[in-house]
Structure 1
Amino acid sequence: MATHTMVAAAALALCLFAAAAADKHAGAQPPALAPAAAAHDISSCLLSNGVSNFSLPSSPSYTPLLDSSIRNLRFELPGVGKPAAVILPASKRDLQSAVVCARAASLAIRVRSGGHSYEGLSYTTENHVPFVVIDLAGLNRVRVDRRSATAWAESGATLGEVYHAVGLSGGRNLAFSAGSCSTVGMGGHTAGGGFGLLSRKYALAADNVIDAVLIDPSGRALTRATMDDDVFWAIRGGGGGSFGVVYAWKLRLVPVPDNITVFSIGRTGPVELIAGLMHRWQYVGPSLPDEFYLSTYIPTRSSNGNLSMSFTGQVLGTKRHAMAVLSQTFPELGLAESELSEVSWLESAVKFAGLSSVADLTNRQPGVRQYSKSKSDYVRAPISKQDAIKILRYMSAGPEGSIQLDPYGGAMARIGSTVTPFPHRAGYLYSIQYGVSWKASEIDRADEYIGWLRSFYTFMAPYVSKNPRAAYVNYLDLDLGTNGWKNATGGTSVAHAASWGERYFFTNFDRLVRAKSKVDPENVFNNAQSIPPLHYDREH
């Protein structure tokens, strides 16, 4: 693979891998309506509550609106169930009405902010359960207060829109710590933690949330001052779709220099060379000073017997500082000063999103879409060079895919594992994102490609975290288990949900269940891997 092509693929991977009144128990709920009846029922409710911006299956706007934020084409296939309505709230009041009307129509609620759910959980359901999509694209306002270094961002804002507002309103010296893909929505990304290039210096997006407005199952708007402490804790890293709809987040902005150093470089060679770089990176990436971010991306397959990998770097400092540190800690990389650039933080966001200009940060169009499947892991002890060779040889025979290794440590490791639901703190060297993708002409081989990824995941078991084998909730993976619910407020037992909940959250899963039981005891907000309330252990 040519170096420039591989670096572009790495930037794309950062984006693609790269981000969401109680009744009695479900037995007393009215029966689920057929989709046509449900659509009529909810349309009447919405109109009577002043909500006019929605689309039904009979409308010409329905399919373009539904498909507008579907990033993974696996969930656009004809066999995937479609919602009874797609609602585009334009205000907090509209959002509150959408929640109340969906409940009144006995429709399951799916909330979509950017559409990047790895398993399509923000716009699909299981077992043909009738549902509605509340699309937050119209709730995308960002208000920056430069004096207090804070911002209020509605959940429908994309990371690109947030960065654009912060960079232009806050000047060159303010930033927000979150992911690199500009079309990821704030809602789901922040709800699951939100890792990015500033995380080793300033922790996760969720770690920088200082207030929020949450719409609960009865349609009430709760703030940090009025919601339960467990609930405010839960919405900052406990995953989207379980506790309500976050209308907006108050964010702590962070200081950055006028200019920072960035680079994206490729290296190609025999398996021993690439394995040596991978092996050495494990000792460097997670141990660099906090102001350094250095990840690596390795595609599957080989070319003329050679493998490829690329490195993405960001340093909150000058090129001279970056070279001084990296030439000493990672001489094997052979980094040249000519491969580094000094840019503003906002310009770095453009670069790592694979865009051409600052203005492009506000473009919500999905860009490249593909059929894909992803999984995740965490590593606590470095993988030996000999084992790295085995891993790369396994990958070289695989279908089109990759692994992305993201360094942890720094500020993330100094935050306790129970401060937020995100538990992957001290002791975790890096995360692994696995992915395979295929073209429309290869749909009949999708099961084969997904099967290879699952086999590779099994192969990796000796080298990654154990008891439990950890995973990141923002890289949703239904292979870990599902609720299997069959009605709008259906669910599963807490014991069953622990099979994946403890892998995402470890012991924090128990507190998430308590928070769920407080704010949503009737399980109005649910999905295939949502947190169940306690009463499901008693009544299911």
Structure 2
Amino acid sequence: MECPNPVPIFSFISFLALYFSSVTLTLSQASLQENFIGWINGNSDVSCPIMKTTFFTPKINVSEFEEVLESTAQNLRYLTKSMPKPEFIFEPMYETHVRASVMCSKKLGIHLRFRSGGHDYEGLSYVSQIEAPFVLIDLSKLRQIYVDIQDNTVWVQTGATVGELYYRIAEKSKKHGFPAGLCSSLGIGGHITGGAYGSMMRKYGLGADNVLDARIVDANGNILNRESMGEDLFWAIRGGGGASFGIILAWKIRLVPVPETVTVFTVTKTLEQDAKRVLARWQQVADKLVEELFIRVIFNVAGTGNKTVTTSYNALFLGNSSTLSDVMERSFPELGLTRQDCIEMSWIESIVYIAGFPSKTPPEVLLQGKSPFPKVYFRDPFPAQERSHLQDSVWDKLARQRQETEQTHGLDQEAVQLHDPVRLDATTRSVRELSGPGSRHDEQEGREGELRTGSGLGGKVLQRQFQQIGQNQDNGRSRQLLQA
């Protein structure tokens, strides 16, 4: 009888090492989650204990973890296996859970990523390629909306989508609306921190221009409102990227009037239909049309064999089709708009139309929080070598402009470091002072935040303000601001 081959001792040791390392890993993850839960229960004033169904980990409930992680992600490139994944996902049920999460992360030395709608194409709200370990705080369960038509205001929690907000407003009134994004699946929390561009911005400004108050959690776990955070921070979170300053819990927004009947249209032009000339004309007149009219251009590739480029002019007009026809005939006849192209509907129906849903889709689709477009892979637009040359040329140009500015104004080398955080508060305050009465910063007019409009703290309006300040040589404070 032959004896079986002995098991090599190194194989047995390797097996034990692998076994204990996997056990340690599992225990470590379980311990981190248990510590997190215990800390939140001990530091939240909500008596109801946290249900474990609000926690999702790749080691314990992998299918639920993947479902939640992928639920709102728009860029499939950031869902590949090679991308870092959070240790676990936590869905807070109450504001104090968010506060306790911040305090816990500092105590345990872990990094937080937090998302409201997850609509960022760079994956910043659910992927961290620098800090590890990290935890994803998904705010989707904080989505309550309180509409006060008498006061013309709404309190909306960060996890609600733009579509939900629009729907709840329309439930209460057919004559009220809010000027925010065109895509109905945007999370309102992060959307407003980026400005919130939309189809009514020419009439009422950005969504960020119509914020009256906010609730945030700062880095120390404090829950702040407009009064307690101060006007500088309140100014910054409305367009300057809220993730840089804290976690947005809710916004108090101002409603705007909308007519009971609005008009939409979509007119498509191909290259054979003189699309280039029409596009050039649109660029000339788009900002000069009546402010009730918003027209955007959507580019597409059409055809299968001989492909061509099409330009679709997608529009919203706050009024009836007869008035719109008169406006277009007078200001933009090159488009060739006809009465048959115009569709009259309610404001909430126009939201569904502009968002890209099929014709006659009921407004209830806005409650689903889903985009009508499939998720796709977004790639870098240029090869690495070309992108490097492009970046070099941009920086060279900026350097030359800075040198010319210093020579013209005689500014100190360090003085023009406007991105210096130490000088930021003084700069923003000075800009407000220089705006003066009658500007959109005038509190009596209730229209603050002009400098925020565009792309946040470094927006085009801010640049225009600095240019105007630089031209005013008689104003001593202007000189001081440029050197701040």
TM-score, with length taken from structure 1? 0.63
Aligned to 1:359: 364
What is the SS of the residue equivalent to 2:117?
Answer: coil
* Deviation (angstroms), 1:198: 0.4
Q: 1:256-307: CA deviations, max 9, x gaps?
A: 111111112211133x822111110011111111101011112357763643
Q: Which residue of 1 aligns with 2:424?
A: 511
Q: How far apart are the structure 1 equivalents of 2:389 and 2:268? A: 25
Cα separation, partners in 2 of 1:148 and 1:114, compared to 1, 3 Å: same
Distance 1:305 1:94 in 2: 53
1:137 counterpart residue number: 140
Q: State the one-letter code of the partner of 2:115.
A: R
**2:11 matched residue in structure 1:** none
Change (3 A) 1:305 1:181: closer
> C-alpha displacement at 1:450, in angstroms?
5.0
2:35 is aligned, of 38, 41, 45, to: 41
* Aligned with residue 102 of structure 1, among 105, 108, 121: 105
1:417-458 Cα distance to aligned partner (Å, 9 max, x none): xxxxxxxxxxxxxxxxxxxxxxxxxxxxx56x6539976995
Contact kept? 2:88, 2:136, Cα under 8 Å? yes
Amino acid in structure 2 at the alignment position of 1:310: S
Structure 1: 5+ residue stretches without partners: 1-32, 374-445, 469-494, 516-529, 532-540
Matching of residue 152 in structure 1 with residue 155 in structure 2: yes
Contact 2:195–2:238 (Cα < 8 Å) also in 1: yes
Paired residue for 1:287? 288
Q: Please state if 1:451 is matched with 2:383.
A: yes
User: Closer, same or farther in 2 for the Cα pair 1:452/1:341, shift >3 Å?
Assistant: farther
Name 1:252's counterpart in structure 2: 254
- C-alpha distance in 2, partners of 1:204/1:135? 25
Deviation of residue 313 (structure 1)? 0.7
2:56 matched residue in structure 1: 55
Taking the aligned partners of 2:178 and 2:73, their CA distance within structure 1 comes to 25
- Using a 3 Å threshold, how does the CA distance of structure 1 residues 290 and 108 change in structure 2: closer, same or farther? same
Task: Give, as a single letter, the amino acid of the residue that structure 1 aligns with 2:285.
Answer: V
**1:367 Cα shift?**
5.1
1:404-415 to structure 2, matched below 5 A, reads: none
Residue 298 of structure 1 aligns to a residue whose secondary structure is strand
Residues 274 and 308 in structure 1, CA contact (< 8 A), matched pair in contact too = yes
Query: 1:94: how far off?
Result: 1.7
SS in 1 for 2:38: helix
Aligned to 1:125: 128
CA contact (8 A) 1:136 1:156 kept: yes
Q: Is 1:369 paired with 2:301?
A: no
Cα deviation digits, residues 22-48 of structure 1 (max 9, x gap) = xxxxxxxxxxx9866644432332344
The DSSP-based 3-state class of the residue aligned with 1:264 is strand
Q: CA deviation at 1:73?
A: 0.6
Q: Deviations over 1:332-381 (max 9, x none)?
A: 111111011111111101111223211100102455433343xxxxxxxx
Aligned-pair identity in percent equals 33
Distance 1:105 1:508, change over 3 A: closer
* Cα deviation 1:93-141 (Å, max 9, x = unaligned): 2221222222222111111011111201011112352111111110111
Residue identity matched to 1:54: F
1:69 alignment counterpart: 72
Q: Secondary structure at the match of 2:164?
A: helix
Contact 2:356 2:372 survives alignment (8 Å): no
Distance 1:43 1:450, change over 3 A: farther
Read off the aligned partner of 2:366 and give its amino acid letter: L
2:310 pairs, out of 308, 311, 319, with 308
Shift of 1:195: 0.3
Equivalent-residue separation in structure 2 for 1:224 and 1:70 (angstroms): 30
What is the alpha-carbon distance in structure 2 between the residues aligned to residue 324 and residue 259 of structure 1?
17
Higher relative contact order (CA 8 A, sep 6+): 1
Q: Distance in 1 between matches of 2:309 and 2:128?
A: 40
The 1:353/1:367 distance shift into structure 2, 3 A limit, reads closer
Look up the match of 2:19: none
Cα distance in 2, alignment partners of residues 186 and 283 from structure 1? 32
Q: What's the secondary structure of 1:137's corresponding residue?
A: coil
1:113 and 1:135 in contact (8 A); partners too: yes
Q: Secondary structure at the match of 2:344?
A: strand
Using a 3 Å threshold, how does the CA distance of structure 1 residues 372 and 261 change in structure 2: closer, same or farther? same
What residue identity is the alignment partner of 1:59? Answer: I
Q: Does the 8 Å CA contact 1:34/1:130 hold for their aligned counterparts?
A: no
Give the equivalent residue in structure 1 for 2:331: 329
Find the residue that maps to 1:225 and give its secondary structure.
helix
Q: Which amino acid aligns with 2:375?
A: Q
Q: For 2:242, what is the secondary structure of its paired residue?
A: coil
CA shift for structure 1 position 146: 0.3
> Can you give the 5+ residue segments of structure 2 that lack an aligned partner in the other structure?
1-26, 400-413, 429-455, 458-484
Partners of 2:346 and 2:385 lie apart in 1 by: 38
User: Would the alpha carbon gap of residues 104 and 166 (structure 1) be closer, same or farther in structure 2, given more than 3 Å must change?
Assistant: same
Partner of 1:190: 192
- Deviation of 1:247 after TM superposition, in Å, equals 0.6
C-alpha spacing 1:337/1:467, structure 2 compared with 1 (3 Å): farther
Task: Give, in whole Å, the separation in 2 of the partners of 1:157 and 1:342.
Answer: 28
User: Is the alpha carbon distance of 1:456 and 1:351 closer, same or farther for their aligned partners in structure 2, counting shifts above 3 Å?
Assistant: farther
Judge conservation of contact 1:215–1:221 (CA < 8 Å) in 2.
Answer: yes
- Hey, what does 2:349 align to over in structure 1? 347
* Alpha-carbon distance in structure 1 between the residues aligned to 2:333 and 2:290: 16
Query: Does structure 1 retain, via aligned residues, the 8 Å contact 2:203–2:291?
Result: yes
* Aligned partners of 2:263 and 2:320 also within 8 Å: yes
Q: Which amino acid aligns with 2:376?
A: Y
Quick check: 2:114–2:125 contact (8 Å CA) kept in 1?
yes
Which deviates more, 59-68 or 290-299?
Answer: 59-68
CA distance in 2, matches of 1:306, 1:38: 55
Give the SS at the match of 1:157: coil
Contact persistence 1:234–1:512 (CA under 8 A): no
- Secondary structure in structure 2 of the residue aligned to 1:286: coil
Amino acid at match of 1:278: L
Aligned-residue RMSD, C-alpha? 3.3
What is the CA–CA distance in structure 2 between the aligned matches of 1:123 and 1:264, rounded to whole Å? 35
Aligned to 1:277: 278
